[in-house]
Each structure stands twice: as structure tokens, then as C-alpha cells.
Amino acid sequence: MPQKAAAQLLRLPASTLSDLLHRTIGRLREGHRIRGLKTIGVDEISYHKGHKYATLVYDLERSCVVWIGQGKGRAAIDRFFNEALSDYQKARIQAACCDMSQAYIGAIQTHCPNATLVLDRFHIVKALNEAVDEVRKEQWREASKDERRAYKGLRWLLYRHSSTRSRRDTRNLKALDKHNRRIYRAWRLKEELEHFWTYQAP
């Protein structure tokens, strides 16, 4: 509910309600202290129809957001490390997870000397899918008219996870071994990495 509508409902001037909200938020923030942070995740979200960004830092052990800052990139994440954490707290962070953004990777390496850097699974899988699609596009450009007909609908099939594929889909993908070894090899390498996430021992 917008502040103006809430003020009308409460029969208060909008400025009075705004002042009350700001004082309450300020009081709550004073009581919000980051304690015992050992594993962090860093990501950004877009809002205002994708025109604005916010950087989020969350505690992976407790599954809660610990900090939100306006903007994205190195300047935003540096604000978190410089303003929200002490040197002692930064030294205690054991693991930090982020996407493949050099801004986040660089900030974690600079501010958290004892943290193991973990790349986000979603972004690794996305990068693999893009690499496989690049091979498919390259082969499509080189293919004859008849070969292109055989590749139709292949894009989404290559993206699909093994748990959501039908037997027919799997047969079609294995048939690539005879028709196009390069696409088949790229898909096969992506498939093999699925087992990586289940490994327990280094």
C-alpha cells in the first residue's frame, strides 16, 4: 500500500506517517548487527522494470539477507565490506559464493583473505549452455539446407536437463554422434558435468 493511501486511511498527514516510518526503520536498523558470519552469497537484483539494481549479501548458513545496497558492481559490494564488516569479521568468512562477475570475485579476494571462493551453480550451467549453443550456431551456419532441417528444434533439446528428457529426446541426442560429432561432443561434455554436483570427495 502506498504511503499516501496509508496516511489517508489512518487520517494522518503523509509527512507525519513518513517521519514515523523513518524513525521506526532507523530504530530497527540500530538493533540489526551482523554476527557470526562465516559463509556469504553475493548477487544483484533488478527492480523498477529492470532500470535499477540492488546488490544483496546473504548469510548462507542462516538463509537470510544481511545487507542490501543500491547499485551493482565493485563500488556497491565494496560498500558492504567497508561499512558493514570489521576486519575481524572479514577474516572470519570461510566461504563466499557469487556469479562469475569479476567485480564480485575481485572484491571477495581483496576483502576476505581466508574465504574459499565458490562460483554459483546456476551461472556455471548457464555459461555451459551458452557454449554448447555457440557450437550449434557455428554448425548451423556451415550446414547445407538438408542438414539444417535435421537440426531444427535442437536448441531446446540441448539445454534440457537429463531429469526432464524423454527417451525419444535422448535417442535424438545420441543420433547426433553420427550426424554431427562436434555438437554431440559439446553436449556430451555438458552432460558429464551434471555428475560434478554430486561429488563428495575433492
Per-residue pLDDT reduced to its tens digit, 21-67: 887 777 666 656 788 899 999 999 998 887 889 999 999 998 888 99
Q: What per-residue confidence (pLDDT) applies to 180? A: 84
The amino acid that residue 9 corresponds to is L
Q: Give residue 107's pLDDT.
A: 95
pTM value?
A: 0.68
pLDDT of residue 54: 92
Q: How far apart are CA 29 and CA 138, in angstroms?
A: 53
Other Cβ atoms within 10 Å of 108 Cβ, number: 24
Cα–Cα dist 141/137, whole Å:
6
pLDDT value, residue 29: 62
Tell me which residues of the chain have a pLDDT lower than 70: 27-32
- The C-alpha atoms of residue 66 and residue 54 are separated, in whole angstroms, by 13
Please give the Cα distance from 21 to 100 (Å, whole number): 38
- For domain 39-119, the CATH architecture is 2-Layer Sandwich (3.30)
Structural domain spans, the chain: 39-119, 123-198
- Residue 168's pLDDT is what? 87
Identify each DSSP E strand in the chain by its residue range: 39-47, 52-59, 64-70, 95-98, 116-119
Grid cell for residue 194: 551434471
